Amino acid sequence: MLEYQAAKDLLNNKTILVTGAGDGIGRAASIEFAKHGATVILLGKTVKKLENVYDEIVNAGYPKPAIVPLDMKGATEQNYIDMADTIAEQFGHLDGLLHNASQLGALGPFEHIDLTSLETILKVNVTAQAIMTKSLLPIMRKAEHASIVFTSSGVGRKGRAYWGPYAFSKFATEGMMQVLADECDNTSVRVNSINPGATRTEMRAKAYPGEDPKTLKTAQEIMPSYLFLMGNGSIDTNGQALNAQ
C-alpha cells in the first residue's frame, strides 16, 4: 500500500469529510486529499487546530475547505442530520467519509476500567460514528461513487492485554464496517477499514511514552493507502480490512 502512487487530480471534484481533521493522521489526510483536488470538510473538536489546517490548505492554493467544529462526545443525532442537510445544500452530495477521530482513554488492567471513560470511548469511537454514518448515507448514495473508511487498529483485529475499551471499540468499528459493507455490496457506496499501523502522532506517544517517535512512520508517509481508498481506483474494494503499512 505504501507504494501506491496517486494521480495529481485523483480527487478532483470530490467532497470528502474527515473527522479528527485537526491533528495527527486526520490532519495529514485532509491536506493530502485537498492536494489531490478534493474539497475537504474538516470536522474536529478543537477549532484552533481546524483553522490551522484550513489556513494550510488555502495557503497552498488547494480547494477551499469547510470547517465543522463538533465534539463527538456530546453530539446528538440532530447535529449530524443538520450537518448532512448543510452539506446537501452546499455540495449536493458527499463522495468520501473518513472516520478517523478516536479517543484512546487510559490503558491498564481490566479491573481498573472506569465506567465514565468506557462510555466516553464507546460514544466517540463507535456510537457517534454509527449515527454520523446513518445521517450521511442518503447524501453519499447521491454521489456517483462514494467511499466510507473506518479507522481500525491492530488491537481491533486481535485483542491485547491492557488495551481495554479502546480495543473493544475498534472491534466494534470492524463489525460496523462489515455490516454496512454487506448492505452496500453492489451499490455505489463502498465501505472499508484501515489500520494505520504505528504512526508518529500524539495518540501513539500517549500509548507508548518510552518510544522514540523518530523510529515511526509519519502520518504523511502512510497517506498512499488513504488516497487509494478515496480515489476511484478502489471502487471495487468493499468490506476489506486493510493495513496502511
Minimum CB separation of residue 13 from ligand NDP in Å reads: 26
Q: Are 96 and 17 in contact (CB under 8 A)?
A: yes
Half-sphere exposure of 119 (CA within 13 A, CB side): 3
Give the phi and the psi of residue 217 in degrees, each rounded to 5: -65, 145
Residues contacting residue 240 through CB under 8 Å, at least 6 positions apart: 192, 193
* Environment class of 238 (CB within 10 Å of its CB; exposed 0-12, middle 13-18, buried 19+): buried
Minimum CB separation of residue 218 from ligand NDP in Å reads: 10
Q: Which residue is nearest to ligand NDP (CB)?
A: 24
* CB nearer to ligand NDP: pick between 51 and 145: 51
> Which of 1, 65, 71 lies closest to 225 in space, CA to CA?
1
Q: Are 9 and 37 in contact (CB under 8 A)?
A: yes
CA distance 100 to 45: 12
Contact range with ligand NDP by CB under 6 A, out of 45-53, 131-139, 178-186, 232-240: 45-53
* CB nearer to ligand NDP: pick between 9 and 55: 55
C-alpha cell at 21: 481533521
> Which of 81, 172, 88, 93 lies closest to 133 in space, CA to CA?
81
Q: Is 151 in the site for ligand NDP (CB under 6 A)?
A: yes
Q: Catalytic residue positions? A: 166
The residue within the footprint of ligand NDP, chosen from 2, 9, 13, 46 (CB under 6 A), is: 46
Minimum CB separation of residue 237 from ligand NDP in Å reads: 19
Q: Is the dihedral of CA 185, 15, 138, 21 positive or negative?
A: positive
* CB nearer to ligand NDP: pick between 160 and 185: 160
Contact range with ligand NDP by CB under 6 A, out of 52-60, 67-75, 182-190, 224-232: 67-75
Minimum CB separation of residue 239 from ligand NDP in Å reads: 19
Site for ligand NDP in 120-149 (CB under 6 A): 124
Q: Is 203 in the site for ligand NDP (CB under 6 A)?
A: yes
Site for ligand NDP in 8-37 (CB under 6 A): 20, 22-26
Minimum CB separation of residue 85 from ligand NDP in Å reads: 20
The residue within the footprint of ligand NDP, chosen from 39, 133, 201, 234 (CB under 6 A), is: 201
C-alpha cell at 215: 523510529
